[in-house]
Structure 1
Amino acid sequence: MRTSRSIAALALSTCAVLTLAGCGDGSVPTAEGAETAGHHHGVTTLYGPENELGEGISRTYVVVDHDGRPREVGIRMSESVLTGLSEGPGAGTTMLMPALPAGAPDTGFDHVMLDWNPNGHDPEILYGAPHFDMHFYTTDADHEVDPAAPDFAARAARLPEPKYVPEGYIPPPGPPVENTVPFMGMHWTDAADGVIPGSFEFTEVLLNGTWDGEFIFIEPMMTREWLATKPSLREIVKQPSSYRRTGYYPTVYTVDFDEQAGEYVVALSGLTMREAS
């Protein structure tokens, strides 16, 4: 979540629900983005253009199987991105809009936003540590989340039907118009994680976001300190009972460090076709 302090504080100040969603069993596909670029074991990895970040680069990628179907979408960042970043009390947020790979098949995601928050964002008791936000948007509706629009309050108040809500995810308490972050949406959290201000040490979290009655993004957030440990994380992505749109949906979320390439890999994988209902 990128800082928009007065509204973001209301959006998340009492939401204390953000750690790991739990590990799955071996039947769920693992991330393949750590594989060597190009063709490997029947899959092809396509890369988006490079974007400067810190002293390194970041780029999106999509893994495609031999039938042309997407299997994984994610972000790769060189190890050197963790140095040379803006920092200090006066430093502002760095926002990148890395393009998805040209010629990649539809992954179910429309675009990606990568933010570096040198001073965290509200609520600082939870998310005050320097960290990265990575929004994977399923639509281009984020530009519509404009508090100056005359229908903003009505559209913010329109929540998804329960059948479309990922298992265990809840909206922040309070009026939706106050909980909707401008040009992003409302951030939902997993109640099962039980994160409570004052007892939660933020390292990595996975959010879902809505606008106008629809889920429009999945957002990994992680601190620079945690990423520097070169973690190996694998979580099951919780699913709803029904899907509003037919398309591919990720079933696994991973964070790894590719030693061969010297890159951090943040992946939404196990892309599975779901039918709208």
Structure 2
Amino acid sequence: MNISPPRTPRRYTVVVAALGAAVSLTSGCALNLANAKWYTTTYSGEAQTVGHGTARPYVIIDQDGNPTEVGVRLSATALDGLPTEDTVPPTETILEFPKQAKATVFNHVMLNWYSHGRKPAEIFGEPHFAFHFYTPDHHAVMEIDPKVHPDRAGKVPEKKYIAPDYISEPGNPVEMTKPQMGLHWIDTTRHFGPVGSAEEFREVFVYGSHDGRLIFQEPLATRKWLLTKPTFKSDIRQPQEYQRTGYYPTFYGIKYDAATNDYVISLGGMRMRKAT
């Protein structure tokens, strides 16, 4: 794992004029918003090496200073040169969001690469990426250990904080909690066929918890599916109530950006929610 101190985030501003024309701005350009309909600014965090490429976290801020989207840009070359065997502990890359993302509930992304997928192999055995968007900081995540703190691992969130149709992985929560990761909550409406079938696993969205609190939201995507350069977007089912105040996403997207030769994994449609 390679964690580098964050540098000054890169910033990009996009202006959309009344007639819908988009203008990209770089530093030093004058800006006249008299005829602008709206504009957003993208701030990028420190890039980390993945495969032969990079992964870079970002946040998009609207004209009022509010976040509208967070995500990861994975360069196309990152899909090459990946480890062919899983490591112990699993290979992970930590991506720190720039400070402009502080109004969201997310602190950082843990990107995991599973060279042989996960169990059951006949369903989830296709090599894939997991993008854990964490709310606690990385130090707190690294302290998750169900053997040392079984009481914390066994404590699940109240039902009102769990999105409809999601359940924790079947089994004892203590046994199912992954060290330095958490307990996964799966979507019971999603059903997949065997690897190689028309219904095989390509992408999915899961939640994660620990010590009675939701701590991550996680899109997953197979390398094989990403190579098809997909354009995908789906709503995120929301709970009745929220455990912390901040901006939460209402949809997730996975797409190929031909202009930059990146794969973009995004959590967008941010809405402010109040803790109850």
Question: Into which bin does the TM-score normalised by the smaller protein fall?
Answer: 0.7 to 0.9
Shift of 1:155: 1.3
Asked if structure 2 preserves the Cα contact closer than 8 Å seen for 1:68 and 1:105, the reply is: no
Query: Is 1:97 paired with 2:94?
Result: yes
Say which SS state the counterpart of residue 189 (structure 2) adopts.
Answer: helix
Judge conservation of contact 2:248–2:272 (CA < 8 Å) in 1.
Answer: yes
Partner of 1:211: 210
Mapped to 1, the partners of 2:227 and 2:91 lie a distance apart of 19
CA shift for structure 1 position 126: 2.5
**Cα deviation, residue 195, structure 1:** 4.2
Determine what percentage of the aligned residue pairs are the same residue: 44
Higher relative contact order (CA 8 A, sep 6+): 1
State the AA in 2 paired with 1:131: H
Give the CA deviation at 1:124. 1.9
Q: Which residue of 2 aligns with 1:268?
A: 267
Moved more, 37-46 or 230-239: 37-46
User: What does the per-residue CA deviation read over 1:36-61, in whole Å, with 9 as the maximum and x for residues that have no partner?
Assistant: 94333310000111111112111000
How many pairs are equivalent?
A: 238
Does 1:146 pair with 2:145? yes
Q: Which amino acid aligns with 1:262?
A: N
Task: Give the C-alpha shift of residue 123 in structure 1.
Answer: 2.8
| Local SS of the residue matching 1:192 | coil
Post-superposition offset of 1:108 = 1.0
The counterpart of 1:43, out of the listed 40, 45, 55, is: 40
Structure with the bigger percentage of strand: 2
Give the letter aligned to residue 258 of structure 2: E
Deviation at 1:194, TM superposition (A): 3.5
TM-score by length of 2: 0.81
Distance change >3 Å, CA 185–CA 196, structure 1 → 2: farther
Tell which structure's C-alpha radius of gyration is larger: 2
| CA distance in 1 between partners of 2:229 and 2:99 (Å) | 29
For the 8 Å contact 1:69–1:105, the answer to whether it is kept is: no
Q: What is the CA–CA distance in structure 2 between the aligned matches of 1:192 and 1:91, rounded to whole Å?
A: 29
**Could you give the per-residue CA deviations for residues 57-116 of structure 1, whole angstroms, max 9, x where no partner exists?**
1100000011111110000011111112222xx453431101212444422101110111
Superposed, 1:120-269 pairs within 5 Å as 120-140=117-137, 141-149=140-148, 152-195=149-192, 201-269=200-268
SS at match of 1:98: strand
Aligned residue identity for 2:108: H
The one-letter amino acid paired with 1:153 is P
Tell me, in whole angstroms, the C-alpha distance in 2 between the residues paired with 1:64 and 1:124: 40
What TM-score do the two structures reach when normalised by structure 1? 0.80
**Structure 2: runs of 5 or more not aligned:** 1-10, 17-38
Instruction: Report the counterpart of residue 80 of structure 1 in structure 2.
Output: 77
RMSD between superposed Cα atoms in Å: 1.9
